[in-house]
Amino acid sequence: MNFVSIYILILLVNIVYGQVSNSPNKQLPENEIFGAEISIIDDNKLSAVITCDTLISKSSNSAILKGNVVAKFYDSEIFNDTNGNGLKDDDEWYDDENQNGKFDSSFIISQLKSNIAYSENSSLIAKKNVTVITFDNIDKAKVVDSLYFLDPQRSDITWQRKYGTIASDKSFIIRYGDGSCTSGNSFESDIELNNVKILGVKGGNYCK
């Protein structure tokens, strides 16, 4: 390549760069991932796995999740961390909650589904056709409790990763494994639906 060709190449690069940088209406494309999967680890433990059809990254701490959004929440059996390394060692006691004779560092406790979700900082805002189900302590294929909304198209739930809670200000129904149910206008709960604070209760053991 001679000096004339090099000069022409540099000139073309400068022209293209100038058109992109000087145009006020053009922005860099967003990062788009198909079949995305996000694993969330807190204190060396798996907290959640979130999947969706399409993930659009808006920034380093903000994203849009579209299509078949599924958030599976996990917990770990309690153990006595005698050496403080954050890991279960062979000689350390543990609570065999699943009654399978072995220590489970992660097992599914609940699942959230929605059509779309917005991830911002340490929270996830799920919208449209939102449902939550919890699983049996021993039989993880068995659904125990279920939560859904009276108006699925306007439903939403916010998961706060820091506190491990979910909340909504939309009218909802929770059906429990024992056949009872309750409903209200808004709620806040842990992700297992064990400690539910309900506002505007419509019925203790009866739902329309």
In the beta sheet, which residues pair with residue 69?
Answer: 114
Q: Which residue has the tokens 């059996």?
A: 77
pLDDT, residue 4, reads 35
Eight-class DSSP state of 61: T
pLDDT, residue 104, reads 66
pLDDT, residue 105, reads 66
Eight-class DSSP state of 86: S
From the list 159, 208, 161, 167, the residue with the least C-alpha distance to 188 is: 167
pLDDT, residue 81, reads 78
Rounded mean pLDDT for each run of 10 residues along the chain, 208 residues in total: 34 31 44 93 87 90 94 81 74 72 78 96 94 90 94 97 94 93 93 90 56
DSSP letter string, 138-186: S-TTSEEEEEEESSGGG-EEEEETTTTEEEE-S-EEEE-TTS-EEEESE
pLDDT, residue 129, reads 98
